Amino acid sequence: MLDTNFDHIRDDWWALARALGRTPSAELGHAPTASSYASDLGVMMAWGRIVTKATAMAEPLLVVCDDPWLFRHLSLVEGVSAGSAPPMWPTVLKLRLRGMAARLKYAARAAYSALALRDHRRQFTETGTSALLVYGHPGSSADGNDAYFGGLMHEIPGLQRMLHVDCGVARARILAGSHTMSFHAWGSVLRTAGLVFARWRPSAEDKSGRYGWLVRRAAEREGGAAAAAATRWQSICQAAWLTQAKPTAIAWPWEGHPWERALIRAARGLGVKTVGYQHTVVGKHLYNYGTAANSDGMDGIPDKVLCNGPAYRDQLQGWGVPADRLSVAGAFRLPVPRQLSVDPTAPVFVALSSDPVISTQMLQAIRGAISNSGRAGRRYLLKEHPLYPFQFEPEPGIERTDVEMTKHEALSAVLYATGTVGLEAVMAGLPTVRFLPEGKVAIDILPLDISVPTAEASELDDILAVAEPQNSIRRENIIAPVDMAHWKNCLETA
């Protein structure tokens, strides 16, 4: 029910996000971008929809809710009889103290990073060239090969690579070179003090109306961490770099996050061409790609959006990106996998989530499937997300693997919840099952015209037993080969 209702709150979240984005401080928040990975506002809206629909049922529904904001939101639904609301201030005080501590820590780390990497700015001399803006991915290397843009730096002479502030000092030094530098170097140490107070503060109007309590909740929860400080620091650093570097064009993995909107505004003010490279996948739940959520309208969308394949181009056009801004440039990160053998006696490959709560539920569901199954001998190979380690001990039927899914000779099925492995499994011709966690939404990353069986914990074993490959998938519609000529045209002649 939660998963289904999350599908149906998309338009409401887009409209709410667009309204929230008009508040100046909203440029620091994730909820105002309808970011389903970074904000659970949409999940709360889905719970509200479930309860609203339940009021029309003849059978009474008991709802147990200890979240102080969600409780108050549900109590306003017509037909709901509510008891005493959970206390608000203990939770608010805890989040505010935690948020202040997190931002103090982040400000200190940002100041250190700016000082430790200041030589990058002193050594910077090439202005007027194009640049890639990337995260500090462990798959990138100092020779210019990049996890997001492959060998593009080798193909376009003089192309710069700037590292997002999520890349720490140690990693930035490993990747640094004559054409790779860290945004931290362009940050002012004096301005790090202001990061302590960086947070999204909705207006009184934002906090009223149908979703008022949920907006308050989203703001307090985001304020309980340092995400807004990181967004502000990235915006400060990238703006200073743009002013000095005067690039002709910039390209980055585009997702519509707050710092990206600030980047587009700053670049457009300096006459810099912006090229947003679709970040891996755009599934039906990645609402942050929808232009309807952008309070800047088309001004908040890159000048050009380069897609991994035709299916994603069509989806983004359907979500409001103008056709003349869209093109297919191919996928650096998602090559089409070879067909893999399906062997009922082979293990089930399990792609653990970037969310530790979901990974924990997947592990518990697998344990339950093993203990309750009459099918002896089924093995599960669990692989951690490359950026989010998950600790667990191997046990009978449950093994750890570091081998990527595409490099196994044969598998019986693939189980995933979030991430791109589900798409890779479908294209590799493997039976693929999407795990539905309890109390959370596993963000669906599959293209709109592809669906796979879903399984809650209690039905996992039965669903895996009957899952079949989707052999009708046309892989070339999903992932296209890299069009290097198109990339050069976008970045060399900007």
Q: Write down the pTM of the prediction.
A: 0.92
**In 3D, which of 252, 257, 233 has the Cα closest to residue 160?**
252
pLDDT tens by residue, 271-290: 999 999 998 788 899 999 99
First vs last Cα of the chain: how many Å apart?
Answer: 48
Give 90-125 pLDDT, tens digit per residue.
999 999 999 999 999 999 999 999 999 999 998 887
Quick: pLDDT tens for 138-174: 889 999 999 999 999 999 989 999 999 999 999 999 9
pLDDT given for residue 477 in this prediction? 85
Architecture field, domain 92-198+224-335+483-492: 3-Layer(aba) Sandwich (3.40)
Better-predicted residue by pLDDT, 374 or 163: 163
Single-letter amino acid, residue 185: A
**Alpha-carbon distance 374 to 423, whole Å?**
30
Structural contact between residues 243 and 121, judged by C-beta atoms closer than 8 angstroms? no
462 Cβ neighbours under 8 A, 6+ residues apart? none
Question: For all residues of the chain together, what is the average pLDDT?
Answer: 93
**What is the tens place of the pLDDT at every residue in 447-465?**
888 889 999 999 999 999 9
Q: Which of helix, strand or coil describes residue 172?
A: helix
Q: Which pLDDT band holds residue 87 (cuts at 50, 70, 90)?
A: very high
Residue 426: pLDDT over 60? yes
Residue 13 has pLDDT above 80, yes or no: yes
Strand order in the sheet with 326-328: 180-182, 160-163, 131-134, 249-254, 273-278, 304-307, 326-328
Q: How many CA atoms lie within 13 A of 222 on its CB side?
A: 32
**Helix, strand or coil, per DSSP, at residue 150:** strand
User: Are 487 and 329 in contact, with CB atoms under 8 Å apart?
Assistant: yes
Confidence of residue 343 (pLDDT cuts 50, 70, 90): very high
Q: Does residue 493 carry a pLDDT above 60? A: no
Domains 92-198+224-335+483-492 and 341-475 share a fold: yes
pLDDT score for 387? 80
From 441, 447, 463, select the one nearest 7 (Cα to Cα): 441
Domain spans in the chain, listed from the N-terminal domain onward = 2-90, 92-198+224-335+483-492, 341-475
DSSP state string for 219-261: HHHHHTSSHHHHHHHHHHHHHHHHHHH--SEEEEEE---HHHH
* Helix, strand and coil in the chain, % to nearest 5: 45, 10, 45
Name the H helices within 306-397: 310-318, 356-372
pLDDT above 70 covers what percent of the chain? Answer: 98
Which one has a higher pLDDT value, 299 or 198? Answer: 198
Q: pLDDT of 37-46, one tens digit each?
A: 899 999 999 9
CATH assignment of 341-475? 3.40.50
pLDDT at residue 56 above 60?
yes
Q: What pLDDT was estimated at residue 494?
A: 46
More confident residue, 281 or 311: 311
The CA dihedral of 11, 17, 22, 24, to the nearest 10 degrees, is -170
Map tokens 């089409």 to a residue: 336
| pLDDT classification of 80: cutoffs 50, 70, 90 | very high
